[in-house]
Amino acid sequence: MKIKSFFLVTAMLFGMTSIFAQDCDKSGTAGPLQWCLKSGTLTISGTGAMPDYDTVFIPNDDGTFYVMTSAPWGKYSITTVVIERGIANIGKFAFFYCQAINSIDIPSSVTKIGENAFYYCHFLKSVVLPYGVTTLDELAFAGCGLVSITLPSSIKSIGDGALSCYDLTTVTNLNPVPLTIGSTVFYGDLSKCTLQVPLQSVAAYQRAEVWKEFNIVGIEVDVEELRVESGELRVYPNPATGSCNIGMPDEFLYESVLTLSVYDASGKLVRQTTLDNNGETPQLQMGLEAKGMYMVVLSNGKKEYRGKVVFQ
């Protein structure tokens, strides 16, 4: 009986792996996690820690070398990274020199972004880190094309060079208390970069080392409201341009009719539609003119899920 059960489970797992691979251009495992690359979108799923990686040197025909991450997806062209809920961290060098990446979706389960994780992701222009991320290790986003980044109030540690990006013009820091950081976390003349902080914290940031060098602007923001708690609506890619996908909560999978509402940063309802839940991933089409942060609410009339998305 035990032998028969073993072969039955093995066959089931093999079948699941085969089906998974059939839906992907490339696929594999990364420690306890699975990854799937399809049409430039890399989706990493599972539960637990992403392994740390290193760099590898690949020889060119002319005798020179180019460098890339040792992660199993490193040799492929990736434009979008979707990290699913349940993953605890982003490993060291995980996306090192993956220059084509222009969008990343990070869930609230991720607490740490490792050293050199997104080093020189040249086309990555904007990142919104969810509440839950506590640590940015050294050089995490160094050399990226970041123009803007949002730091959650959960951030406790930012390593040297973590945000040393040449084109950075806007940093939104939702932490009401300035974090002590080193002088090399950022790069360049910080007076040319706008730092948006909670309105009540402006004076504190104006006194804090490094932070005081920015052009500081106070914004009205409820820090608690911006927390991404378990079960909150997942919107990706985030940031987005023109349109985005809505991650359907398990609780709503068998609901026939759902209401999707969109609110702008001032709380004004700007769009409301009825979704016919047909099992496909719903899309929110906002158009290229949509800019800024929006609240997206998915409701069945009895319960709602909320998520935030930045259109750029």
Angle at 253 between CA 249 and CA 257, to 5 degrees: 105
Rounded CA gap, 1 and 22, in Å? 32
Q: Facing residues of 309 across strands?
A: 294
Peptide bond between residue 72 and the one before it cis (omega within 30 degrees of 0): no
Cβ-contact 159, 181 below 8 angstroms: no
Look at residue 159 and tell me if it is in a domain: no
Residues 282-291: what's their mean pLDDT? 88
CA-closest candidate to residue 216, choices 225, 207, 224:
207
Q: What is the pLDDT of residue 22?
A: 56
Residue tagged 């839906």 (tokens): 23
Q: What is the pLDDT of residue 1?
A: 44
Q: Facing residues of 255 across strands?
A: none
Peptide bond between residue 198 and the one before it cis (omega within 30 degrees of 0): no
Give residue 116's domain range: 22-124
Rounded CA gap, 54 and 179, in Å? 29
Residue tagged 């009205």 (tokens): 220
Count of the separate structural domains present in the chain: 2
Choose the final residue of a domain: 74, 94, 124: 124
Look at residue 3 and tell me if it is in a domain: no
Distance, first Cα to last Cα, the chain: 58
Rounded CA gap, 143 and 162, in Å? 9
- For the stretch 88-145, pLDDT in tens is 999 999 999 999 999 999 988 899 999 999 999 999 999 999 888 999 999 999 999 9
Token pair in block for residue 101: 């990446």
Cβ-contact 294, 309 below 8 angstroms: yes
- For the stretch 43-90, pLDDT in tens is 999 999 999 999 998 888 887 878 999 999 999 999 999 999 899 999
Choose the final residue of a domain: 124, 158, 181: 124
Better-scored residue on pLDDT, 287 or 217: 217
Mark out the alpha helices in 117-256 (DSSP H runs). Answer: 202-207
Which DSSP category does 179 fall into? Answer: P
Mean of all residue pLDDT scores within the chain: 86
Look at residue 59 and tell me if it is in a domain: yes
Q: 247: how many CB neighbours lie within 10 A of its CB?
A: 20
- For the stretch 224-261, pLDDT in tens is 444 533 357 888 888 889 999 988 887 787 777 788 88
Token pair in block for residue 15: 């079948």
Q: Are strands 89-90 and 112-113 parallel, antiparallel or unpaired?
A: parallel
Q: What is the pLDDT of residue 34?
A: 97
Choose the final residue of a domain: 124, 153, 188: 124
**CATH number for the domain that contains residue 243:** 2.60.40.3580
Q: Give this prediction's pTM.
A: 0.70
Look at residue 197 and tell me if it is in a domain: no
- For the stretch 133-192, pLDDT in tens is 999 999 999 999 999 999 998 898 999 999 999 999 999 999 888 898 999 999 999 999
